[in-house]
């Protein structure tokens, strides 16, 4: 599986936007970009995924660079509940169902 | 109950004990997974089951023995564990529809301590 690189930690203030970056310079044409997050004392939960175009859902937006070598997860207005470890994961279309987790980015949201 | 449930939530066992972790999903999914999350390490996939058949074993030691009697239930049988096996064990499930993205739903995990 292609590798992703994320900052170890980031901080944000409540009600401000947060941009969580992910580099994936070895991404292949069939790799989808997935984001999961893990709140304290819980299992991970799905956030969003995309292939080439930017994606929006009720939780977040995903901005994908034109060359697909990087992407950014955008939380439009951070809340205290968004404090979590965010994982950027690549998974090949039609490939194994498994997710390969890295260390992720620990997001701290300040009140 | 909805989603993915795991029991027990906490378990303390000695190295000579035998215990089992249970996972149940109420989502009608066909694929189930065991992951291990050790302190300060990324989540590691252990086993994958599709339609009750094991499709992946990620070089897991034989002291961990999975069992999937049906698509809704997944067990992890533990025996003669080592202290370094202490970790959070997470179960997940997904629909496993061919040709479409199958989001994984995780349970809350079992916090295992091996003394």
Average pLDDT, chain B: 92
- Asked whether A33 and A14 are in contact (CB, 8 A), the reply is no
Q: What is the pairing mode between strands A18-23 and A70-75?
A: antiparallel
Across the interface, whether the CB atoms of A97 and B31 are under 8 A apart is answered yes
pLDDT higher than threshold 60 for residue B98:
no
What's the pLDDT score for residue A98? Answer: 75
pLDDT of chain A, 111 residues: tens digit per residue: 568 999 999 999 999 999 999 999 999 888 899 999 999 989 999 999 999 999 999 999 999 999 999 999 999 999 999 999 999 999 877 666 678 899 999 999 999
Q: Given the structure tokens 């496993």, which residue do they identify?
A: B96
Across the interface, whether the CB atoms of B48 and A45 are under 8 A apart is answered no
- Pairwise CA distance, residues A86 & A39, whole Å: 9
Least trusted range by pLDDT, from A69-73, A101-105, B40-44, B72-76: B40-44
Which of B6, B9, B43 to mutate to probe the A interface, most A CBs <10 Å? Answer: B43
Nearest residue, CB atoms, A102 vs list B42, B94, B107: B42
- Pairwise CA distance, residues A49 & A90, whole Å: 9
pLDDT per residue as tens digits for the range A16-27:
999 999 999 999
- Pairwise CA distance, residues B92 & B105, whole Å: 5
What's the pLDDT score for residue A48? Answer: 95
Which of A43, A47, A51, A58 to mutate to probe the B interface, most B CBs <10 Å? Answer: A43
- Return the C-alpha torsion angle A65, A12, A39, A4, nearest 10: 30
3-state secondary structure of A80: helix
Instruction: State the Cα angle at B5 between B2 and A101, rounded to 5°.
Output: 110
Give the minimum alpha-carbon distance from B89 to chain A in angstroms, rounded to a whole number.
9
């Amino acid at each position: 599986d292609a590798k992703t690189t994320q900052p170890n930690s980031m901080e944000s203030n409540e009600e401000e936007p947060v941009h969580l970056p992910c580099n994936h310079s070895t991404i292949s044409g069939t790799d989808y970009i997935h984001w999961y997050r893990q709140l304290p004392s819980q299992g991970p939960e799905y956030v969003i995924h995309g292939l080439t175009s930017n994606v929006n859902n009720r939780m977040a937006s995903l901005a994908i660079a034109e060359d697909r070598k990087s992407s950014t997860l955008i939380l439009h207005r951070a809340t205290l509940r968004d404090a979590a470890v965010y994982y950027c994961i690549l998974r090949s279309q039609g490939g194994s169902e498994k997710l390969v987790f890295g260390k992720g980015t620990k997001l701290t949201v300040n009140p | 109950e909805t989603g993915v449930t795991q029991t027990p939530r906490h378990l303390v066992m000695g190295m000579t004990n035998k215990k089992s972790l249970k996972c149940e999903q109420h989502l009608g999914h066909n694929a189930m997974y065991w992951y291990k999350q050790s302190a300060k390490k990324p989540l590691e996939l252990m086993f994958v089951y599709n339609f009750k058949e094991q499709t992946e074993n990620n070089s897991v030691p034989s002291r961990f023995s999975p069992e999937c009697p049906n698509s809704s239930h997944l067990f992890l049988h533990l025996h003669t564990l080592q202290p370094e096996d202490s970790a959070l064990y997470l179960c997940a499930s997904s629909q496993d529809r061919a040709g479409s993205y199958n989001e994984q739903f995780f349970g809350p995990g079992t916090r295992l301590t091996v003394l």
